[in-house]
């Protein structure tokens, strides 16, 4: 990351305590607004880093392809509740690094909302999906961990159950629950757990079957057209 980007990150992180302080004074379910603002403050530095980098045409197109695939993945697989999005997002992170993973994740959530209908949980989706892509990018950076299908499958399962899923479930606390307390947090996380496990299994399956071919396809495009070669 560039120095200026780090500076930006610090500025935005400093805004968070301020938001928390002011948000505490809001009446009613003001914590929903606080939550949204904090998510925005967390993501804006990454988005701005992407903007400043002035991405190449080829990079933009490939990211757009991955996002579009993640959005419509569930149409292609004729199994109800089977989400292909997590695996596709994480594979993008694995192939192109944490930043691309975050952008693809967050934008997938954002675009899905235009496609399947808007909901109040959209900021949480953006955060969770983006964080998932970013984590995948960090874990598999510089080929330290081999990109074998079964390793990616285990990673995919764990990431969905213990990272993306819980991040998504926090939205329930802000939207459906009457207050933020230990009871509501545990209730939200516990109620989401079975769904997360089933999505984790789906993701692991996707990684096993689809992981290697997708990485090969991305490699082919990378090599054939010299993409992301900087």
Backbone φ/ψ region at 226: left (φ over 0), alpha (ψ -120 to 50), beta: left
Least distance in Å: CB of 119 to another protein? 5
Q: Containing H/E element for 7?
A: helix 3-23
End-to-end Cα spacing for the chain: 14
Please tell me whether residue 30 binds another protein under the rule CB under 8 A: yes
The reply on whether position 78 binds another protein by CB under 8 A is yes
How many whole angstroms separate alpha carbon 55 and alpha carbon 85?
23
Q: For residues 42 and 80, give the distance between their C-alpha atoms in angstroms, rounded to a whole number.
A: 33
Enter the tokens of residue 123.
Answer: 């900021």
Q: Is the Cβ of residue 57 or residue 142 nearer to another protein in the bound state?
A: 57
Contact 62, 101 (CB under 8 A): no
Report 5-24 residues binding another protein (CB under 8 A). none
Where in 96-135 is the site for another protein (CB under 8 A)? 103, 107, 110-111, 113-115, 117-120, 122
Q: What is the DSSP letter of 162?
A: I
- Of 186-225, binders to another protein (CB under 8 A) are 187, 205-206, 209-210, 213-214, 216-218, 220-221, 224-225
Neighbours of 181 (CB within 10 A): 11
Does residue 84 touch another protein according to CB under 8 A? yes
Interface positions, 141-160, toward another protein (CB under 8 A): none
Candidate list 184, 189, 195, 228; residue touching another protein; CB under 8 A: 184
Query: CB 3 → another protein: shortest distance, Å?
Result: 21
Q: Which of 63, 85, 109, 139 binds another protein (CB under 8 A)?
A: 63
Contact in structure between 203 and 129 (CB atoms under 8 Å): no
Which lies closer to another protein via its Cβ, residue 80 or residue 142? Answer: 80
Which of 79, 175, 81, 76 has the alpha carbon at shortest distance from 125? 175
Of the pair 154, 187, the CB lying nearest another protein is at: 187
Taking the CB of residue 146, how many other CB atoms lie within 10 A of it? 9
| Binding residues for another protein (CB under 8 A) | 26-30, 32-33, 47, 50-51, 54-58, 60-65, 67-69, 71-73, 75-79, 82, 84, 103, 107, 110-111, 113-115, 117-120, 122, 175-179, 181, 183-184, 187, 205-206, 209-210, 213-214, 216-218, 220-221, 224-226
């Amino acid at each position: 990351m560039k120095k200026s980007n780090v500076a930006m990150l610090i500025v935005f992180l400093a805004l968070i305590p301020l938001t928390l302080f002011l948000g505490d004074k809001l009446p009613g379910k003001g914590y929903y607004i606080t939550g949204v603002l904090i998510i925005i403050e967390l993501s804006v530095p990454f988005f701005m880093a992407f903007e400043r980098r002035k991405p190449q045409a080829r990079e933009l197109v490939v990211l757009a392809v991955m996002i579009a695939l993640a959005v419509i993945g569930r149409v292609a697989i004729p199994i109800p509740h089977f989400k292909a999005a997590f695996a596709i997002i994480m594979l993008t992170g694995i192939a192109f690094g944490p930043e691309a993973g975050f952008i693809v994740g967050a934008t997938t959530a954002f675009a899905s909302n235009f496609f399947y209908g808007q909901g109040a949980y959209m900021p949480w989706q953006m955060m969770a999906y983006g964080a998932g892509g970013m984590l995948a990018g960090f874990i598999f950076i510089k080929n330290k961990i081999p990109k074998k299908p079964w390793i990616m499958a285990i990673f995919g399962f764990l990431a969905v159950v213990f990272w993306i899923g819980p991040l998504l479930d926090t939205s329930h606390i802000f939207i459906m629950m009457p207050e933020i307390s230990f009871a509501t947090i545990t209730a939200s996380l516990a109620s989401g757990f079975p769904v997360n496990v089933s999505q984790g299994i789906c993701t692991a399956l996707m990684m096993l079957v689809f992981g290697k071919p997708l990485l090969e396809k991305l490699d082919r495009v990378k090599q054939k057209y010299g993409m992301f070669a900087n």
